[in-house]
Amino acid sequence: MSYLFTSESVSEGHPDKIADQISDALIDNFLAFDKSSKVACETMVTTGQVFLAGEVKSKTYLDVQKIARDVINKIGYTKGAYMFDGNSCGVLSAIHEQSPDINQGVDRANPEEQGAGDQGMMFGYATDETENYMPLALELSHRLLIELAALRRENKDIPYLRPDAKSQVTIEYSDDNVPQRIDAIVISTQHDDFDKSDDVMLAKIKKDIVEILIPRVVAKLPAHLQKLFTDNITYHINPTGVFVIGGPHGDTGLTGRKIIVDTYGGKGAHGGGAFSGKDPSKVDRSGAYATRHIAKNLVAAGLCKEVLVQVSYAIGVAKPTSINVETYGTATVDLTDGEISKKVESLFDMRPYFIEKRLKLRSPIYSETAAYGHMGRTPEVKTVTFTNPMGETTSEEVETFTWEKLDYVDAIKEAFKL
């Protein structure tokens, strides 16, 4: 019996994602000038206002107002009509020094003994149903909004688009878990008030989404995924009606409220901890990246078709309290999942210090993660430049999305005799 599975995504202009991007821009600026910075910062955005709060231990000083405004303007909130724009919104900071009670559990005389920044469990997931080993419904949801944002910036084929948007894709699977077709696509996009008639506006938006956006997305997909876009897709385009009031004016945004969008769209599992605004000593972030790195390499090596990797920590303790691998019965080796877990534990050192070193996490690489998912992205080497209020400028070469690299495939094949 076939079944349906659904995932959603939100655009970079969604209020919660604005908050995530500001929080991660602060992380990048702190790390650019002080690699040892410990940061946990939260952002709230609402009509005409940005509120920053959190705890920081760092040797550098930042102009947090300018950082927040630059992020907002880059996203596209640059007009007073949006009731939220980077040049005129208020920015209030309540960031203060990190508690020494927390810091004593992380810093050690021997860096290798660095303790976990918190207790908790983190999950990494991978599946072979897409080329980047991500769940298909989430991958398509992200792609729809990435392309929609490109159309907004081009301001040509669909000139009325505003920054806030959401998408949702429902996939029909066969009973052996193979995608068969797309059953439904939902897109809600903020837009200008470009006609006196609501019906005319909605008809125009639906026509443009179906006839302009969808073909652009399909054209960039591999052939086997293009076939899933049949004439039988049900489209729900702005199903509530007009969507002129949006962004932080329409809905307050908070850091860390889109953790399923950020990860696997509801596939696998989630430990509950958000990523944005946290430096890599917080295992909510680094542990989740490390388990994704493991999961992706396991599937790419041919050990299994689908896998969920869990790690857990006690605050202030370096060694994980557990590492678990679940292959959903898809393993290609004659080993139990428990036996696979033991081998994985010997291949990947999951102590926080070694995760940071292996994945190069003490670099200013986080702003890009804060929209369209932290997983399934393409690693890239680039040069980034930052300037602080004292007029100091620093540039460095960084490697983004290192947890997506397939650099352990050979080691896994050797360990499991694949």
pLDDT (0 to 100) of residue 262: 98
Assess whether pLDDT exceeds 90 at residue 383: yes
Residues 330 and 396 in one domain: yes
Mean pLDDT of 63-82: 96
| Exposed / middle / buried, residue 70 (Cβ in 10 Å: 0-12, 13-18, 19+) | middle
Residues 87 and 150 in one domain: no
Residues 280 and 383 in one domain: yes
pLDDT (0 to 100) of residue 106: 66
Q: Answer for the pair 95, 64: CB distance below 8 angstroms, yes or no.
A: yes
Distances (CA, A) of 1 to 15, 132, 174, 239: 39, 27, 7, 29
Q: What is the mean pLDDT of the chain?
A: 95
Asked which of 246, 280, 306 is the last residue of a domain, the reply is: 246
Residues 394 and 291 in one domain: yes
pLDDT (0 to 100) of residue 103: 57
∠ CA 324-293-344, rounded to 5°: 40
Residues 237 and 343 in one domain: no
Q: Binding site for ATP, residues?
A: 14, 164-166, 251, 257-258, 274, 278
Cα 239 from Cα 232, distance rounded (Å): 18
Residues 326 and 181 in one domain: no
Q: Binding site for L-methionine, residues?
A: 55, 98, 251, 282
- Tell whether 112 is covered by a domain: no
Residues 222 and 160 in one domain: yes
Asked which of 246, 274, 294 is the last residue of a domain, the reply is: 246
Confidence of residue 105 (pLDDT cuts 50, 70, 90): low
Asked which of 201, 221, 246 is the last residue of a domain, the reply is: 246
Which neighbouring-strand residues pair with 122? 311
- Tell whether 349 is covered by a domain: yes
Q: Binding site for Mg(2+), residues?
A: 16
Judged by DSSP in three states, 328 sits in coil
Instruction: State which amino acid sits at residue 293.
Output: H
Start-to-end Cα distance in the chain: 33
Residues 143 and 169 in one domain: yes
Instruction: State which amino acid sits at residue 355.
Output: I
Residues 322 and 408 in one domain: yes
**Max alpha carbon distance in the chain (Å)?**
68
- Tell whether 217 is covered by a domain: yes
Confidence of residue 1 (pLDDT cuts 50, 70, 90): confident
How many independent structural domains does the chain possess? 3
Confidence of residue 124 (pLDDT cuts 50, 70, 90): very high
Confidence of residue 102 (pLDDT cuts 50, 70, 90): low
- Tell whether 253 is covered by a domain: no
Distances (CA, A) of 110 to 113, 114, 203, 286, 353: 6, 7, 64, 19, 10
> Which tens digit of pLDDT belongs to each residue from 43-62?
999 999 999 999 999 999 99
- Tell whether 113 is covered by a domain: no
Q: Binding site, residues?
A: 14, 16, 42, 55, 98, 164-166, 251, 257-258, 274, 278, 282
What CATH number did the domain enclosing 323 receive?
A: 3.30.300.10
Mean pLDDT of 336-340: 98
Q: Binding site for K(+), residues?
A: 42
Confidence of residue 317 (pLDDT cuts 50, 70, 90): very high
- Tell whether 281 is covered by a domain: yes
pLDDT (0 to 100) of residue 101: 52
- Tell whether 175 is covered by a domain: yes
Confidence of residue 111 (pLDDT cuts 50, 70, 90): confident
Residues 325 and 351 in one domain: yes
- Tell whether 20 is covered by a domain: yes
Residues 74 and 45 in one domain: yes
Assess whether pLDDT exceeds 80 at residue 22: yes
Confidence of residue 109 (pLDDT cuts 50, 70, 90): low
Assess whether pLDDT exceeds 70 at residue 104: no
- pTM of the full predicted structure? 0.96
> Which tens digit of pLDDT belongs to each residue from 147-193?
999 999 999 999 999 999 999 999 999 999 999 999 999 999 999 99
Residue 216: how many other CB atoms lie within 10 Å: 15
Confidence of residue 250 (pLDDT cuts 50, 70, 90): very high
Residues 312 and 283 in one domain: yes
Cα 90 from Cα 84, distance rounded (Å): 9
Fill in the DSSP letter of residue 212.
Answer: I
Using alpha carbons, select from 279, 258, 259 the residue that is nearest to residue 270: 259
57-71, 110-124, 246-260, 335-349: the lowest-pLDDT one: 110-124
Q: Name 115's Cβ contacts closer than 8 Å, sequence gap at least 6.
A: 105, 106, 108, 315, 316, 317, 318, 352
Assess whether pLDDT exceeds 60 at residue 12: yes
Q: 86 lies in which domain range? A: 16-107
Confidence of residue 107 (pLDDT cuts 50, 70, 90): low
